[in-house]
Amino acid sequence: MAYLFTSESVSEGHPDKVADQISDALLDNFLAFDKDSKVACETLVTTGQVVLAGEVKSKTYLDVQQIAREVINEIGYTKGAYQFSGDSCGVISLIHEQSQDINQGVDRDTKEEQGAGDQGMMFGYATKETENYMPLALDISHKILIELAKLRREGTEIPYLRPDSKSQVTIEYSDDNVPQRIVAIVVSTQHDDFDIDDDVMLAKIKNDIVSILIPRVISQLPKYIQDLFNDQITYHINPTGKFVIGGPHGDTGLTGRKIIVDTYGGKGAHGGGAFSGKDPSKVDRSAAYASRHIAKNLVAAGVASEALVQVSYAIGVVEPTSIFVDTYGTSTLGITDGEIAEKVAEIFDMRPAAIEERLKLRNPIYKETAAYGHMGKEPKLVTKVFESPYSGKVEKEVELFTWEKLDYVDHVKKAFQI
């Protein structure tokens, strides 16, 4: 019997994502001026206020208030009517130095002997159902909100949009796990107040989303995914009604509360650790990226059409305590998933320092991860400029989303004799 699967996404203006982006912007600035910085930075945003907290060990000093304000303005919170704007909000910094008790378990005499920054398990996942090896429902959910943000910034076709929004997509699958059709799409978007009746306002918002936004999203998709859209889709557009009060004024935001949006939309598994605000010595982040890199290269190499990779660590210990692979019965090799996991351990060095080196994680590459998912984006080279009143100006060329590269496909094929 066919089944339904649903994933959601949230916009860059969602309060939790505002917090994530501030935390990762601070991390990037610390790494730009001191690549060996140890950072665990948390952010809270609420009506007119930002609170920064966490532990940092770094040789540089930053104007953290200014960095937070710049992020908020860039997202689009620039008007007093939002009750939260980059130019007027208060910013309180409670950041202090990292505990030496934690640091002694990470630093070693040589970089290669660096221990894991914490215990825990991390997961990576990949599937062939999309071109970027991401679960389809999540991929479409992200694309809806990315395009909605473009419409907001253009300000012409839908001029009343505000930064806070959420999306959700439900897909029907066949018994053999093939997407059949899109069943439902939910979009809730913050908007300016209207000088018209609420029912008329809601009807206009729904019409604009269905007739303007959705066709723009569909046009970006490959034909086989476009065919899943149909006249029977149920649209729930701002289903609670008026949505003028939003963002941090409507709901307090915290770093690390959207871990499923950040990863695979509920497909595969999640170890529970958040990413944003953490430097790569924290395996919550770096090993999750490395696990995605492994899963994606396994699927791309033809080992399986779907793969879940788990790795686990003990704090201060160099080698992972386990590596696990689940191909959900889709392996093409005639060997067990346990045997695949043994090969994976031979191909990919999963020591924390090796992950940092392989994926170039000691660079300021993290703010771009903090909205619309950490996985599934296109690797690319960019030049980023950072300025500090204390350390001057630096310009760095960095590679974003290195864990999305298919640079180990040949290694995998050779190891598995594909």
To the question of whether residue 166 is assigned a binding role by annotation, the answer is yes
To the question of whether residue 410 is assigned a binding role by annotation, the answer is no
CB neighbours of residue 379 within 10 Å: 13
* 398 to 295, 328, 382: CA distances (angstroms): 24, 36, 6
> Whose structure tokens read 């695949």?
340
To the question of whether residue 208 is assigned a binding role by annotation, the answer is no
To the question of whether residue 251 is assigned a binding role by annotation, the answer is yes
To the question of whether residue 164 is assigned a binding role by annotation, the answer is yes
To the question of whether residue 258 is assigned a binding role by annotation, the answer is yes
To the question of whether residue 282 is assigned a binding role by annotation, the answer is yes
To the question of whether residue 16 is assigned a binding role by annotation, the answer is yes
For residue 57, give every residue at least 6 positions away whose Cβ sits within 8 Å of its Cβ, in sequence order, or none. Answer: 37, 38, 97, 98, 103
To the question of whether residue 370 is assigned a binding role by annotation, the answer is no
CA dihedral (48, 149, 373, 8) positive or negative: positive
How far apart, in whole angstroms, are the C-alpha atoms of residue 176 and residue 193? 47
To the question of whether residue 242 is assigned a binding role by annotation, the answer is yes
To the question of whether residue 249 is assigned a binding role by annotation, the answer is no
On the CB side of 415, CA atoms within 13 Å amount to: 20
To the question of whether residue 331 is assigned a binding role by annotation, the answer is no
How far apart, in whole angstroms, are the C-alpha atoms of residue 95 and residue 97? 7
To the question of whether residue 257 is assigned a binding role by annotation, the answer is yes
To the question of whether residue 274 is assigned a binding role by annotation, the answer is yes
**DSSP labels, 374-391:** SSSPPPEEEEEEEEETTT
> Whose structure tokens read 């490959």?
222
To the question of whether residue 98 is assigned a binding role by annotation, the answer is yes
- Strand ranges (DSSP E) for 58-196? 90-97, 120-127, 161-173, 179-191
To the question of whether residue 278 is assigned a binding role by annotation, the answer is yes
Residue ranges of the annotated binding site are 14, 16, 42, 55, 98, 164-166, 242-243, 251, 257-258, 274, 278, 282
Residue ranges of the annotated binding site for ATP are 14, 164-166, 242-243, 251, 257-258, 274, 278
Residue ranges of the annotated binding site for Mg(2+) are 16
Residue ranges of the annotated binding site for K(+) are 42
Residue ranges of the annotated binding site for L-methionine are 55, 98, 251, 282
